[in-house]
Amino acid sequence: MYEHSSCPIQRFFDATNAADSDAFVASFTDDAYLEDWGRVFHDNEGARSWNQTDNIGKQAHFDVVDARDAGGEWVVTDVVTGNGFNGTSPIRFTVDGDRISRMVIKP
């Protein structure tokens, strides 16, 4: 189950909620792919950029309401609050070892 504290998806949420940008970026692989409603970011620098413009930089806070294994990826539904997007959103995660290799947010 993804909720274990050593899981990168849990570290992603914990780092965001603690406003820890370094821990947030460290939850991704070096060649990570992030997509947020069609906007694409690559690698750790892309993760850091998205984090500043859309996540910790907007004081985002996540409350997970559901998580399910969707055959090779996790679909995590969460409620987001902060100074950016506010609402419920599913996020698709692919994990590679102990880090996230792919994260996709789209309607």
Domain 8-105 has CATH 2.40.100.10: no
Q: How far apart are the first and last CA of the chain?
A: 24
> Pick the residue with more confidence: 57 or 3?
57
- Residue 72 confidence class, pLDDT cut points 50, 70, 90: confident
Record the pTM: 0.92
b/e 20-29 (16+ beta carbons within 10 angstroms → b): ebeebbbbbb
pLDDT of residue 107 exceeding 80: no
